[in-house]
Amino acid sequence: MLNIVLKGGDVLCADGQVRQTDLAISGSIIAQVGNINETADRIIDCRDKLLIPGFVNTHTHAAMTLFRSYADDMMLMDWLQTKIWPAEENLTGEDVYWGTQLAIAEMLKSGTTCFADMYFFMPEVAKAVAESGIRAVLARGMAGVAPTANQALAESESFYKEWNNGADGRITIMLGPHAPYTCPPDYLKKVTALAEKLKAQIHIHLSETAGEVAECQKQYGKSPIALMNELGVLDHGVLAAHCVHVSSEDIAIMKEKKVRVAHNPGSNMKLASGVAPVPDMLAAGICVGLGTDGAASNNNLDMLEELRLTAMLHKVHRLDPLAIPANKAVDMATCKGAAALGLDHVGKLEPSYKADITILDMKEPHWHPRHDRLSLLTYAANASDVHTVIVNGKVLLDNHQLTTIDQERLLAEVDRRGLRLVKN
Ligand SMILES: CSC[C@H]1O[C@@H](n2cnc3c(O)ncnc32)[C@H](O)[C@@H]1O
Ligand SMILES: [Zn+2]
């Protein structure tokens, strides 16, 4: 007996083609794509709807939703040092739980089924993920500075042991050294040793600003990518956020070490960090997924916006309309994102893949006429088109309504907590 049949939708199939067909879910898995006559517990009419693999947000700091609209229009280092880091000192575990639930609500409502997070109070983040039903790759953010440097390593180890492969396999744990400018070489060697011991992968910010790269050159005589390579960080499976200021030598190292990149165009634009050479990374065969970064530097967690920015930004930057075509950008927002997080059997609508599916309503005027559905998804769609979202075979957004989160209670909690955090 099948659990859910999605009937008669336009399905983005694994070969990149959109076909009108049915899709069946059994447990947490896609059982069949094609004409289905079997009965099921639930049949969802998907005519006039587009079915895509759920978006994979490859880099965020979920609970930073609490700082949305608190500090805008600043450069990264000024923003972190004068506004964000002082405010983060006030965070409690409960704040992070509620801030993460807010992020999850926003992500589900805009079609994201999986996210990679780096933050503090990670057991509370894992609890929010477990309760909501979303999929996530979580890392306890670590900085190699006293007094918390060693505690962060110990917490990362216990977090890995308690939660890796947790919540029915929906949670994967990585190690999260914040960046080369907050984690000195000796500390990164300890992180690398822990990664080796646990067989855990690493999520790190790399080469985000020109200032970071210049400072690294001055201090160590090499780029952040070359320094990470020398320290052995790149030998453990690395998800590198940003990679805006990377040279062709850096790209060659990244390719050789199979570094996967989280491209965050919205955050990079808002913090005036620059434009990552994504077309060059793709041409080199590097796996590049898309991310929002935190809601304090974006200022939302809407992957449809990142999809459109990716398809647009590199065209205008290179003066080349083919720099990143719509179908490539969609692949980066879904399948490549899953690969960037090292997730097998996530990111494609194909039998044996996880049933992580976003269903968009195509009834509004901006979906007509329908010459090319991936063009419409990339250049015309918006989050209010997201109708139903399924993760691991469970319906988490049902006809625009969250099924696992009490939105009214959530909004009351985060409004109160957000204001308290930034009071001087
Ligand atoms: C150690 S937990 C994560 C840490 O990262 C900070 N953060 C948020 N956005 C960015 C960014 O774009 N670059 C670098 N660091 C960032 C966040 O505030 C936490 O302190
Ligand atoms: Zn970040």
ipTM of the complex: 0.99
Q: Which of 235, 227, 118, 245 is nearest to 173 (CA)?
A: 118
Distance 276 CA to ligand 2 centre (A): 15
pLDDT at position 423 is: 81
Distance 179 CA to ligand 1 centre (A): 9
What are the residue ranges in the chain where pLDDT is below 50?
Answer: none
**55-340 CATH:** 3.20.20.140
Distance 216 CA to ligand 1 centre (A): 18
Domain ranges of the chain: 2-53+347-402, 55-340
Contact 207, 223 (CB under 8 A): yes
pLDDT at position 424 is: 66
Query: Against a cut of 0.95, is the pTM above it?
Result: yes
Instruction: Report whether CATH 2.30.40.10 matches the domain 2-53+347-402.
Output: yes
Contact 295, 103 (CB under 8 A): yes
pLDDT at position 146 is: 84
Contact 10, 49 (CB under 8 A): yes
Query: Tokens at residue 326, please?
Result: 């719509």
Each residue of 192-241: pLDDT tens digit? 999 999 999 999 999 999 999 999 999 999 999 999 999 999 999 999 99
Ligand 1, CB cutoff 6 Å, lining residues: 61, 76, 80, 84, 88, 118-120, 141, 143, 178-179, 205, 208, 267, 293-294, 297
**Nearest-angstrom CA–CA distance, 145 and 181:** 11
**Nearest-angstrom CA–CA distance, 260 and 274:** 19
